[in-house]
Structure 1
Amino acid sequence: MPRFSRALPFALIATVTMSTSGCFLVAAGAGAGAAIAYTQRGASASVPGSVNAVFGKAQSAFSAMSISETGQSTENSGALRRLVGKMGDNEVTVEIKRSSDEVAAVEVIAKKNVVDYDKDLAKRVLDRIVK
């Protein structure tokens, strides 16, 4: 059997698990209702709850992880909220967008500077928000 034909099933599985935005599925919590994916700059997930409820979870995650809040903003009559903080050399940004009344799209970005991102830290923060 040629080598490429043995690798084909694995390539198909990898292709199926990729989303159209290029995000790769990292974890899906059974019953948690959120699948966490790496993005180009961090991690994202659809989280059950209103924008305000998820924002409260983000503030709790910052507190639990000793991330010092440095700013927050609200746009579009509350349909978009941001929470920004510092953890060591990293600036952590949580962006929460309304997807529906019951679901919010959340992206967490942790960066040291303009080009260096810490995707693992972003995923840990998002894990806290999802729980």
Structure 2
Amino acid sequence: MSQSRALLALTLAATVLASSGCFLVAAGAGAGAAVAYNNRGATAQLPGGVIATFDKAVASFGRNGISETGRGTENSGTLRTLTGTKGDLEVTVEMKRKSDNVTAVEVVAKKNLVEYDRDFAKQVLEEMAK
């Protein structure tokens, strides 16, 4: 009986995630990181603090040919952003402290008001997860 309940719970969870536009893309893209698509780009929870994660974002921009256009820090450093451009894309990385050793990251690569390049966002995030 408990196996059928577990299967039902797993099925319901998968249905909710798939219908919300957020589904698993690459488990193990980095040490302990699972990269997932969302409606606008890619998300993951990366090991390390916000400052270390920000440094990884800067390095990823360099490796992916993104020209940095701005940086931001809010809430005493628990939320940081990095923005840049590559061709017609505007790339934004938002990093938010989840704990001392975990940072939630969202990468968005926007072409225009309604078009996003989710694959490029995933590529940037996977570089950060290395």
> Same fold per TM (> 0.5)?
yes
Q: Distance in 1 between matches of 2:80 and 2:13?
A: 33
Structure 1 counterpart SS, 2:99: coil
> Bigger radius of gyration, 1 or 2?
1
The 4+ residue runs of structure 1 with deviation greater than 6 A are none
Change (3 A) 1:20 1:56: farther
| Structure 1 position 34 matched with structure 2 position 16 | no
Structure-2 residue corresponding to 1:119: 118
Identity %: 61
| Structure 1 position 72 matched with structure 2 position 80 | no
Q: Distance in 2 between matches of 1:102 and 1:14?
A: 26
Structure-1 residue corresponding to 2:6: none
Higher strand share: 2
- Shift in Å at residue 23 of structure 1? 1.2
Normalised to the residue count of structure 1, the TM-score between the two structures is 0.85
Aligned residues: 122
Q: Distance in 2 between matches of 1:35 and 1:115?
A: 26
Q: Distance in 1 between matches of 2:12 and 2:125?
A: 25
Pairing of 1:50-89 with structure 2 (within 5 A): 50-89=49-88
Q: Distance in 2 between matches of 1:20 and 1:101?
A: 32
Measured on the aligned residues, the alpha-carbon RMSD in Å equals 2.5
Structure 1 counterpart SS, 2:116: coil
- The answer to whether the 8 Å contact 1:17/1:25 transfers is no
Deviates more, 1:51-60 or 1:29-38: 29-38
Change (3 A) 1:76 1:20: farther
Structure 1 counterpart SS, 2:72: strand
| Structure 1 position 105 matched with structure 2 position 126 | no
Structure-2 residue corresponding to 1:18: 17
Q: Which runs of 5+ in 1 are unaligned?
A: 1-11
Normalised to the residue count of structure 2, the TM-score between the two structures is 0.85
Change (3 A) 1:13 1:69: same
Deviates more, 1:86-95 or 1:25-34: 25-34
- Shift in Å at residue 20 of structure 1? 9.1
Q: Distance in 2 between matches of 1:96 and 1:73?
A: 10
